[in-house]
DNA sequence: ATGTCC
């Protein structure tokens, strides 16, 4: 793959063949390493009908289903632009929520083991069913799919202020529960309020370093303050919705005269029955993911209150797997675009009207989950943010799960983390080994590349004190 | 990511 270095941290893949736009990759050659397969996916995405600007890739790009993870693609709705479930991924609305405690590391030290034991009991995780919320009446799942975090708060699992600090106020509009299949509902009903497995986690962290005091203060972050980060998605419900709608689009594509270089890029126009059906179901899954994080926040709050007498306040909740209809400037005109972000985080600039008033002046909080034993980051959106105001989403996997499990012994990793002062509460040792830090890129390098590429700025680094994993 | 293959 020929990459032309336009400027440091920004590479271009020139248009050729069926590409409608060029590819743009924000990274260094070091970070890209052996990314040949995922760069081929960047090229494939550039062929989608209606795509505008470029097929973008973030510094944490790696191979995914159809689209690369770390990919951003926007299509023009009025110009026949398509929506593709592969551009969102199987874990619809996977995202991150950060809460801050009214205590610092010193004050929490003696209570930390009790907090971790409490979280160990209170946080459902791992594959399969189990969640903190159980429906007790008719139509509750439907109301949750329409209301997201708002529904959870209305049911008593949070406070109104939480909603002001959620992307979209806690719920995506236009969820269409009639497009959520029976099987998706069956899988979803028993998993509300659960982490799931793989790289999903709940961590107790501390603010290790503040890089931007103004933004950190606006977000409510101070050095050594204790935080809780929750990284999870829409579990089996989102997975089933993706499966169902990929199949429907794969069948329907030919009727719209659409051909794609990879069947995993199945898509139809946004403005088509299949496109609207997917977006309606996707919005429902997005709300499920948000409600999921809201219910888990409530569970964590109860543990912190009981075990440490500490209160948790929401900083922000943002997804990194979603397609959204947004208005952006394209070639000097305002256009309605379907922006696919898959393993990429929305990063609205300072002053954006959709941001909560109390953080608007400094830009959107962007939450980047790192890997166990390393660090996570809080970033902020910047003016003129490229790629439709998007940035990275995490470290980015470099070893397969299989290779990680083969190379790393879970118990040894657990002991290593404990020696480094990180309390670990895994559900399985195998699961822990698959998520070993060495299986990922260096999250600090990914964040630095994103900042230098002009996509965001770094606000604070968080390091783990305790890890709860599936 | 995922009742890690209907």
A273-308 and A182-189 helices cross at what angle (nearest 10)?
A: 0
Task: Give the ranges where A60-181 is alpha helix by DSSP (H).
Answer: 105-108, 112-122, 140-154, 160-164
Tens digits of residue pLDDT in A31-70: 998 889 999 999 999 999 999 999 999 999 999 999 999 9
For residue A373, what pLDDT is reported? Answer: 80
Assess whether A393 carries a catalytic annotation: yes
For residue A137, what pLDDT is reported? Answer: 87
Percent of chain A with pLDDT over 70: 100
Check pLDDT > 90 for residue A1. no
Please state, in angstroms and rounded to a whole number, the distance separating the CA atoms of residues A51 and A174: 23
Tens digits of residue pLDDT in A314-330: 999 999 999 999 999 99
| Average pLDDT value for chain A | 96
Tens digits of residue pLDDT in A141-156: 999 999 999 999 999 9
Please state, in angstroms and rounded to a whole number, the distance separating the CA atoms of residues A64 and A274: 23
Name the residue closest to B1, CA to C1': A91
CA of A75 to C1' of B4 (A): 32
Task: Give the ranges where A317-398 is alpha helix by DSSP (H).
Answer: 386-389
Helix (H, G, I), strand (E, B) or coil at A4: strand
Chain B: nucleotides below 7 Å from protein CB are: 1-4
Q: What are phi and psi of A228, to 5 degrees?
A: -125, 125
Check pLDDT > 90 for residue A96. yes
CB < 7 A contacts with chain B (nucleic strand): A 65, 90-91, 94, 127-128, 183, 186-187, 191, 196-200, 232-233, 235-236, 239-240, 397, 401, 470
Please state, in angstroms and rounded to a whole number, the distance separating the CA atoms of residues A52 and A331: 10
């Amino acid at each position: 793959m020929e990459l032309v270095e336009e400027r440091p941290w920004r590479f271009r893949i020139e248009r050729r063949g069926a590409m409608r736009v060029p590819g743009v990759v924000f990274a260094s050659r070091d970070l890209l390493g052996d990314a040949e397969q995922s760069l081929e996916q960047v090229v494939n995405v550039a062929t989608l009908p209606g795509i505008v600007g470029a097929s973008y890739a973030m510094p944490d790009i790696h191979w995914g289903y159809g689209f690369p993870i770390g990919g951003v693609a926007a299509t023009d709705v009025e110009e026949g632009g398509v929506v593709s479930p592969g551009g969102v991924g199987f874990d619809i609305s996977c995202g991150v929520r950060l809460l801050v405690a009214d205590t610092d590391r010193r004050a929490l030290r003696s209570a930390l083991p009790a907090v971790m034991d409490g979280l160990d009991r209170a946080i459902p995780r791992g594959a399969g069913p189990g969640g903190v919320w159980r429906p007790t009446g008719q139509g509750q799942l439907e109301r949750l799919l329409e209301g997201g975090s708002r529904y959870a708060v209305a049911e008593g699992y949070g406070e109104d202020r939480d909603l002001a600090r959620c992307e979209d106020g806690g719920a995506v509009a236009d969820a269409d529960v009639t497009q959520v299949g029976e099987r998706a509902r069956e899988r979803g009903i028993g998993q509300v309020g659960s982490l799931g497995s793989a790289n999903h986690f709940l961590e107790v962290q501390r603010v290790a370093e503040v890089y931007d005091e103004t933004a950190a203060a606006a977000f409510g972050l101070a050095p050594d303050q204790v935080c809780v980060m929750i990284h999870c998605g829409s579990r089996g419900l989102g997975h089933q919705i993706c499966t169902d709608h990929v199949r429907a689009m794969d069948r329907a594509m030919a009727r719209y005269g659409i051909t794609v270089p990879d069947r995993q890029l199945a898509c139809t126009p946004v403005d088509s029955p299949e496109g609207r059906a997917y977006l309606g179901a996707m919005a429902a899954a997005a709300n499920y993911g948000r409600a999921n994080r809201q219910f888990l926040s409530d569970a964590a709050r109860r543990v912190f209150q009981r075990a440490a007498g500490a209160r948790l306040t929401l900083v922000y909740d943002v997804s990194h797997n979603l397609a959204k209809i947004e208005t952006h400037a394209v070639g000097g005109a305002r256009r309605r675009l379907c922006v696919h972000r898959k393993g990429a985080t929305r990063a609205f600039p300072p002053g954006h009207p959709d941001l909560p008033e109390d953080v608007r002046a400094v830009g959107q909080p962007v939450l980047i989950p790192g890997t166990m034993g390393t660090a996570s980051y809080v970033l902020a959106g910047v003016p003129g943010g490229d790629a439709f105001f998007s940035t990275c989403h995490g470290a980015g996997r470099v070893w397969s799960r299989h290779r990680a499990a083969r190379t790393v012994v879970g118990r040894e990793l657990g002991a290593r983390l404990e020696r480094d002062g990180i309390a670990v509460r895994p559900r399985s040792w195998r699961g822990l080994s698959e998520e070993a830090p060495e299986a990922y890129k260096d999250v600090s390098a990914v964040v630095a590349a994103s900042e230098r590429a002009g996509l965001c700025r770094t606000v604070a680094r968080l390091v783990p004190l305790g890890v709860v994993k599936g």
